């Protein structure tokens, strides 16, 4: 099924032929350069990695071993479209590892009532829904971080870092209370839509695993798995900023701060393709420019490794995706599109009319039913479900249930 909208095809093929010759002339020294660099830097780096972590980092535990180990799943972010993402997180992560304990860390807003869906999660260790408040900014943060490309500037970055780090705080407190230690921490986002199960090959002893692509000048920080040691460093996003400052880093975005955090703390990492995308309501230019953001159709086969996505009828598939993605900067918003894994939306406007139908068709009846349930939920249903959820949760730290439900739903 190769559809190529003419409108986008012509300007691209013209510019390709124009730059064709220059491209090839540039490619030869560039390739030599890349090969040289990989020899210069990769080999010593590999040695450093193995020096620090003596364990055979390539061997992941089997599924059986993982099911016998202690796993914490840290779920962070606002509930925005949780009626679409929640059931997939439940199926592809929580029910894949039913021995895992869920930790939810989320700001209170008018969508928080959607977390009522979690009442069917296998195990819930802690829920922390908090009233968002501005966090203090000081010179250290201003020096190290960049407000560019962050929707809410430096404050937005600090809020996000605090949200992520708060999850480690919850996990550590739960460990102390119950005198346990987790073997693995899976860090994931509330707005992640999973179209395949999280496989055991993504648990790598002694290393931190992140998705490939969408690296924005650093490392893709939309998901991560590591043991307790590597995860503690990877998730301590706020408290490690002064360390980055001492190391002389400045002008960092979320992804480059994340990479600097791991490298300065000598945590080695691996990237793998992972079967999820980040459902977003944001609008982006189409086709994406070199530093633009491609928005995947939810129907893409994937793995999308955390690319932004929405339910849409794709406007660009097959050879069109090749033409669009070859101009997207590899170290920035680029994501792997090989083998037809990616289909693109035109995300210049709000979600299209009839997106619900598109979603239900892609996600199937079970996930579609959850969407409808939230869509038609009333205040009393919400209270009912939240009471169940609270009852299943070991550590409950949230505003009154009535307040959570009333923010998003009118009293009947």
Q: Which residues contact 222 (CB under 8 A, 6 or more apart)?
A: 189, 192, 211, 214, 278, 306
Q: Rank residues 177 and 330 by Cβ distance to ligand NAG and give the closer one.
A: 177
Q: Answer yes or no whether residue 387 interacts with ligand NAG by CB under 6 A.
A: yes
Q: Answer yes or no whether residue 353 interacts with ligand NAG by CB under 6 A.
A: no
Q: Answer yes or no whether residue 138 interacts with ligand NAG by CB under 6 A.
A: yes
Number of H helices, E strands in the chain: 14, 12
- Sign of the Cα torsion 251, 257, 259, 264 reads positive
Nearest distance from residue 400's CB to ligand NAG, in Å?
A: 16
Q: Rank residues 247 and 387 by Cβ distance to ligand NAG and give the closer one.
A: 387
Q: Rank residues 84 and 158 by Cβ distance to ligand NAG and give the closer one.
A: 158
Rounded-to-integer distance, Cα 210 and Cα 189, Å:
13
Q: Rank residues 239 and 289 by Cβ distance to ligand NAG and give the closer one.
A: 239
Nearest distance from residue 98's CB to ligand NAG, in Å?
A: 17
The residue among 280, 272, 237 whose CA lies nearest residue 258 is 237
Tokens 């020899």 appear where? 39
One character per residue 96-135, x = contact with ligand NAG (rule: CB under 6 A):
----------------------------------------
Nearest distance from residue 120's CB to ligand NAG, in Å?
A: 13
Nearest distance from residue 135's CB to ligand NAG, in Å?
A: 9
Nearest distance from residue 62's CB to ligand NAG, in Å?
A: 32
Rounded-to-integer distance, Cα 218 and Cα 259, Å:
5
Q: Rank residues 190 and 260 by Cβ distance to ligand NAG and give the closer one.
A: 260
Query: ∠ at Cα 172 (187, 220), nearest 5°?
Result: 20
Q: Rank residues 54 and 138 by Cβ distance to ligand NAG and give the closer one.
A: 138
Q: Answer yes or no whether residue 246 interacts with ligand NAG by CB under 6 A.
A: no
Among the residue ranges 193-201, 221-229, 251-259, 384-392, the one whose residues contact ligand NAG (CB under 6 A):
384-392
Rounded-to-integer distance, Cα 291 and Cα 244, Å:
25
Rounded-to-integer distance, Cα 285 and Cα 293, Å:
8
Nearest distance from residue 226's CB to ligand NAG, in Å?
A: 24
Instruction: Centre a 10 Å sphere on the Cβ of residue 151 and count the other Cβ atoms it contains.
Output: 8
Q: Answer yes or no whether residue 248 interacts with ligand NAG by CB under 6 A.
A: no
Q: Is 400 exposed, middle or buried (0-12, 13-18, 19+ CB in 10 A)?
A: exposed
Among the residue ranges 125-133, 309-317, 361-369, 383-391, the one whose residues contact ligand NAG (CB under 6 A):
383-391
Rounded-to-integer distance, Cα 109 and Cα 293, Å:
27
Phi-psi region at 289: left, alpha or beta (left = phi > 0; alpha = psi -120 to 50): beta
Kindly tell me which residue out of 62, 99, 250, 391 binds ligand NAG, with binding defined by CB under 6 A. Answer: 391
Q: Rank residues 145 and 298 by Cβ distance to ligand NAG and give the closer one.
A: 145
Backbone angles phi, psi at 129, to 5 degrees: -110, 120
Q: Rank residues 132 and 197 by Cβ distance to ligand NAG and give the closer one.
A: 132
Q: How many residues bind to ligand NAG according to rule CB under 6 A?
A: 7
Q: Rank residues 15 and 388 by Cβ distance to ligand NAG and give the closer one.
A: 388
Kindly tell me which residue out of 13, 15, 131, 140 binds ligand NAG, with binding defined by CB under 6 A. Answer: 140
N- to C-terminal Cα separation, the chain: 48
Give the containing element (helix H, strand E) for 356: helix 355-363
Site of interaction with ligand NAG (CB under 6 A): 138-140, 242, 387-388, 391
């Amino acid at each position: 099924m190769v559809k190529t909208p003419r409108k986008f095809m012509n300007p691209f093929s013209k510019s390709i032929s124009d730059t064709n010759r220059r491209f090839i002339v540039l490619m030869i020294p560039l390739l030599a350069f890349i090969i040289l660099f990989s020899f210069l830097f990769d080999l010593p780096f590999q040695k450093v990695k193995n020096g620090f972590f003596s364990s055979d980092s390539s061997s992941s535990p089997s599924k059986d071993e993982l099911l016998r180990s202690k796993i914490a799943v840290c779920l962070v972010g606002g509930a925005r479209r949780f009626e679409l993402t929640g059931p997939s997180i439940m199926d592809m992560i929580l029910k894949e590892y039913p021995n895992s304990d869920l930790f939810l860390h989320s700001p209170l807003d008018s969508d928080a009532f959607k977390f009522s869906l979690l009442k069917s999660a296998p195990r819930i260790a802690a829920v922390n829904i908090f009233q968002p408040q501005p966090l203090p900014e000081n010179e250290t943060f201003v020096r190290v971080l960049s407000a560019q490309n962050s929707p809410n500037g430096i404050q937005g970055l600090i809020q996000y870092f605090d949200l992520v780090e708060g999850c480690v705080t919850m996990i550590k407190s739960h460990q102390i209370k119950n005198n346990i230690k987790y073997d693995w921490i899976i860090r994931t986002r509330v707005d992640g839509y999973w179209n395949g199960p999280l496989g055991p090959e993504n648990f790598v002893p002694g290393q931190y695993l992140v998705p490939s692509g969408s690296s924005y000048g650093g490392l893709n920080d939309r998901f991560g798995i590591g043991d307790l040691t590597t995860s503690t460093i990877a998730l301590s996003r706020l408290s490690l900023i002064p360390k980055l400052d001492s190391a002389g880093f400045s002008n960092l975005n979320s992804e480059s701060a994340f990479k600097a955090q791991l490298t300065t703390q000598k945590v080695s990492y691996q990237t793998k393709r992972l079967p999820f995308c980040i459902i977003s309501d944001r609008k982006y230019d189409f086709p994406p420019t070199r530093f633009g953001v491609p928005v995947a159709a939810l129907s893409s086969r994937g793995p999308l490794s955390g690319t932004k996505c929405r339910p849409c009828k794709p406007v660009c598939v097959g050879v069109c995706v090749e033409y669009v993605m070859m101009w997207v900067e590899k170290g920035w918003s680029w994501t792997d599109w090989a083998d037809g894994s990616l289909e693109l939306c035109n995300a210049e406007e709000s979600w299209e009319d009839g997106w619900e139908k598109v979603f239900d068709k892609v996600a199937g009846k079970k996930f579609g039913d959850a969407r409808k349930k939230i869509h038609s939920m009333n205040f009393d249903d919400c209270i009912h479900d939240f009471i169940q959820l609270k009852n299943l949760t070991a550590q409950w730290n949230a505003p009154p249930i009535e307040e959570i439900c009333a923010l998003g739903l009118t009293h009947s």
